[in-house]
């Protein structure tokens, strides 16, 4: 198994160089806790190789995916679906009846990252047993077999418009699509459900930690199960539906280039334009959070109040690239209250008895 793994690593490296597909040479996991401020590229490269061995080719136990928690929601909305028109990677376009995009954090100053101990007095769920973010194990993962492919539908369809909103605790991307074009995720560990894209929020440094290692930046693409019309509806349903949300985590690692989508969000936010709500050139959502097939999944919560414990998290197994000066510029941002936005993260939460599964 190890030998086989090594061969495959070499194949991947070969292809990565041939195709100059630099993302394949980036990986997120390692046992060494020094990447965040580590300047030496050769050490970085060594960590990358080590990481790939661990996360992807460690000695995973195998489970068949029907052992994972599964629910079968009301599928009545399904009949609204029209014929798929196009595809991106392996995804088919599909439609859905949800259109409304609710602002993520409307209650601006009810909480902040400095006083996280106080969250649970206002939002009791923040003291729950399945909270996020967590420190994900970099080895000993359970590898799920027999899963359907994860499908990223409409991930290549440009939005009609896009905005970047800077509020007191976050920097968030929203988009508007025609009803039939809204991006959605289904298949893979998401089972029979379809999750519509809601928003993409940036955190620096990373909220999720892998094998004890924190990364310079993380983006979280929140998706809402298609039977809920709004963010609020999904939060309200969470007591009976533990899979109301799907969160995609992209971890960024320092390298000598920056993923284009991230660049365009931070360019808007760090420009000297007045205000806190900027229109940016419209792209597809895949531009900001490219589709993937390898990921680690666990059951958790929203990482900010109300900390709703109804999020199926998918953590992309290979990191995306970011340059140091881009992250440095982000650290200089201030929020609408003129407070520095240096640390946009919740502290780590205990894993308790939760399991982590690897798909890919
Ligand atoms: C980044 O570094 C790699 C390897 O060190 C090099 O091949 C590549 O050309 C560099 N990319 C840029 C944009 O400088
Ligand atoms: C940002 O501006 C757009 C257009 O003016 C508006 O529709 C949207 O609600 C605003 N978003 C927030 C969170 O203020």
DSSP, residue by residue, 259-300: -HHHHHHHHHHHS--SSSEEEE----GGGTS---S-EEEEEE
pLDDT digits (tens, 9 = 90+) for 314-345: 999 889 999 999 999 999 998 888 888 888 89
317 close to 55: Cβ distance less than 8 angstroms: yes
Ranked by mean pLDDT, the top range of 129-143, 188-202, 224-238 is 224-238
CA 285 to ligand 2 center in whole angstroms? 18
Is pLDDT above 80 for 139? no
Confidence of residue 11 (pLDDT cuts 50, 70, 90): very low
Helix H or strand E encompassing 246: strand 245-254
Query: What are the CA-CA distances from residue 159 to residues 91, 174, 197, 277, 342 (Å)?
Result: 17, 10, 12, 17, 30
**Residue 255: how many other CB atoms lie within 10 Å:** 21
- Nearest CA among 83, 72, 80, 85 for reference residue 96: 80
Region 208-223: mean pLDDT is 92
* CA 199 – CA 105 distance, rounded (Å): 11
CA 274 to ligand 2 center in whole angstroms? 14
Is pLDDT above 70 for 151? yes
Region 167-181: mean pLDDT is 92
Is pLDDT above 50 for 16? no
- Nearest CA among 23, 53, 51 for reference residue 250: 23
Region 133-152: mean pLDDT is 85
Atom 7 (ligand 2): residue with closest C-alpha? 163
Is pLDDT above 70 for 22? no
Atom 9 (ligand 1): residue with closest C-alpha? 256
Is pLDDT above 80 for 181? yes
Is pLDDT above 80 for 2? no
* CA 188 – CA 275 distance, rounded (Å): 40
Helix H or strand E encompassing 219: strand 217-225
Helical residues (DSSP H) of the chain, grouped into ranges: 2-19, 41-57, 119-122, 231-237, 260-270, 324-331
Is pLDDT above 70 for 267? yes
- At 93 the pLDDT is 34
Helix H or strand E encompassing 167: none
- DSSP character at residue 97: S
Length of the chain: 360
- At 179 the pLDDT is 92
Confidence of residue 20 (pLDDT cuts 50, 70, 90): very low
- Nearest CA among 247, 241, 346, 358 for reference residue 295: 358
- Compute, in degrees rounded to 10, the torsion defined by CA atoms 305, 309, 310, 312: 100
Confidence of residue 92 (pLDDT cuts 50, 70, 90): very low
Residue 101 bridge partners (DSSP): none
Any atom of ligand 1 within 6 Å of the Cβ of 83: no
Torsions phi, psi for 249 (to 5 deg): -105, 125
Parallel/antiparallel/unpaired status of strands 184-187 and 194-203: antiparallel
- The chain-wide mean pLDDT, for the chain, equals 75
- At 190 the pLDDT is 82
Is pLDDT above 90 for 13? no
* CA 138 – CA 319 distance, rounded (Å): 14
- Compute, in degrees rounded to 10, the torsion defined by CA atoms 3, 211, 253, 224: 110
Hey, what are 215's tokens? 């990364």
Region 132-159: mean pLDDT is 88
- At 14 the pLDDT is 35
Is pLDDT above 80 for 209? yes
Is pLDDT above 50 for 247? yes
Best of 256, 263, 326 to mutate for ligand 1, by most ligand atoms within 8 A of CB?
256
Is pLDDT above 60 for 228? yes
Atom 1 (ligand 2): residue with closest C-alpha? 277
Atom 13 (ligand 1): residue with closest C-alpha? 257
Helix, strand or coil, per DSSP, at residue 310: coil
- For CA atoms 341, 159, 259, 252, the dihedral sign is positive
CA 94 to ligand 1 center in whole angstroms? 38
pLDDT digits (tens, 9 = 90+) for 33-91: 333 333 334 444 544 544 443 444 334 444 444 333 333 333 333 333 333 333 332 23
DSSP of 173-187: EEEE--GGG--EEEE
Any atom of ligand 2 within 6 Å of the Cβ of 171: no
Residue 145 bridge partners (DSSP): 64
CA 123 to ligand 1 center in whole angstroms? 46
CA 33 to ligand 1 center in whole angstroms? 24
- Nearest CA among 96, 99, 102 for reference residue 185: 96
- At 109 the pLDDT is 60
Residue ranges per structural domain of the chain? 63-100+123-359
Is pLDDT above 80 for 313? yes
Architecture of domain 63-100+123-359: Roll (3.10)
């Amino acid at each position: 198994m190890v030998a086989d793994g090594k061969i495959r690593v070499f194949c991947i490296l070969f292809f990565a160089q041939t195709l100059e597909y630099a993302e394949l040479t980036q990986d997120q996991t390692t046992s060494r806790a020094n990447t965040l401020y580590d300047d030496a590229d050769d050490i970085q490269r060594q960590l990358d190789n080590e990481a790939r061995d661990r996360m992807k080719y460690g000695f995973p136990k195998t489970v068949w995916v029907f052992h994972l928690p599964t629910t079968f929601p009301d599928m009545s909305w399904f009949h609204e679906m029209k014929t798929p028109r196009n595809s991106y990677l392996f995804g088919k376009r599909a439609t859905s009846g949800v259109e409304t995009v609710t602002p993520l954090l409307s209650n601006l100053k009810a909480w902040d990252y400095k006083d996280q101990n106080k969250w649970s007095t206002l939002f009791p769920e923040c003291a729950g047993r399945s909270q996020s973010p967590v420190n994900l194990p970099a080895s000993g993962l359970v590898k799920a077999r027999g899963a359907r492919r994860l499908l990223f539908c409409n991930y290549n369809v440009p939005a009609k418009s896009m905005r970047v909103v800077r509020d007191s605790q976050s920097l968030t991307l929203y988009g508007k699509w025609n009803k039939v074009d809204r991006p959605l995720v289904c298949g893979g560990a998401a089972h029979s459900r379809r999750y519509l894209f809601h928003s993409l929020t940036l955190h620096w440094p990373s909220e999720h930690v892998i094998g004890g290692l924190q990364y310079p930046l993380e983006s979280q693409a929140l998706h809402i199960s298609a039977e809920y019309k709004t963010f609020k509806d999904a939060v309200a349903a969470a007591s009976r539906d533990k899979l109301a949300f799907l969160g995609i985590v992209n971890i960024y690692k320092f390298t000598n280039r920056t993923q284009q989508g991230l660049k365009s969000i931070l360019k808007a936010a760090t420009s000297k334009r007045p205000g806190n709500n900027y229109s940016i050139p419209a792209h597809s959502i895949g531009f900001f959070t490219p589709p993937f097939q390898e990921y680690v999944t666990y059951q958790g919560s929203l990482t900010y109040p109300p900390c709703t414990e109804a999020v199926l998290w998918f953590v992309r197994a290979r990191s995306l690239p970011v340059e140091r000066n881009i992250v440095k510029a982000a650290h200089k941002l201030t929020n609408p209250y003129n407070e520095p936005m240096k640390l946009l993260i919740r502290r780590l939460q205990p894993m308790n008895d939760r399991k982590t599964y690897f798909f890919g």
